[in-house]
Amino acid sequence: MAKVENEIQQTIYNLYHIFWTNTDHDGITHKPFGLDWISLERNMHRLLVLRGIIKDGEIVQQDPWDMFTTEFAPKHTILSSSVKQPSQPYFPSSILLPASSGGQQNQKSSRVHFQSPLPGRSSMS
């Protein structure tokens, strides 16, 4: 019984490690991918087997990331899926524009200006 408890604790530790390595410096936790995703799936499956919820070899229909964040993630966790994404990202065609839109210009008469003000900055004239 102690061996099973130790394995459960080690599995939970592994899951927390995956959780924290996928949390950025702003505190937003992102769904793991690649090897982290494979490790998350295997550890969640093993944890469910050790707890007697499923049998070894059984397929789990629920998303392992959702299961982990529901049961183990801290209450104040901000998941990337819950962060409001801008509806349409802004990608300017270029930040270098000629001073006027008329014909061909000399390089000395061209100047750099931004097409639209940057977010969080006041426009200066």
Q: What is the pLDDT of residue 112?
A: 54
Within a domain: 97: no
29 pairs with which residues across the strands? 23, 79
Please give the pLDDT value at position 74. 85
pLDDT tens per residue, range 84-112: 554 555 555 555 555 555 555 555 555 55
- pLDDT score recorded for residue 91: 53
In a domain, 34, yes or no: yes
51-91 pLDDT tens trace: 999 999 999 889 999 999 999 988 888 888 765 554 555 55
The tens digit of pLDDT for each residue in 13-52 reads 999 999 999 999 888 999 999 999 999 999 999 999 999 9
Residue 26 lies in a domain: yes
In this structure, is residue 110 part of a structural domain? no
The pLDDT, as a whole number, for residue 60 is 87
Q: What is the span of the domain harbouring residue 60?
A: 2-82
Q: Is there a domain that residue 46 lies in?
A: yes
**Domain count for the chain:** 1
Residue 112 lies in a domain: no
Task: Evaluate whether residue 33 is within a structural domain.
Answer: yes
Is residue 125 pLDDT above 70, yes or no?
A: no
* 103, part of any domain: no
Task: Write the secondary structure of the chain as one string of H (helix), E (strand) and C (coil).
Answer: CHHHHHHHHHHHHHHHHHHHHCECCCCEECCCCCHHHHHHHHHHHHHHHHCCCCCCCCCCCCCHHHHHHHHCCCCCCEEHHHCCCCCCCCCCCCCCCCCCCCCCCCHHHCCCCCCCCCCCCCCCC
Which pLDDT score, from 0 to 100, does residue 121 have? Answer: 59
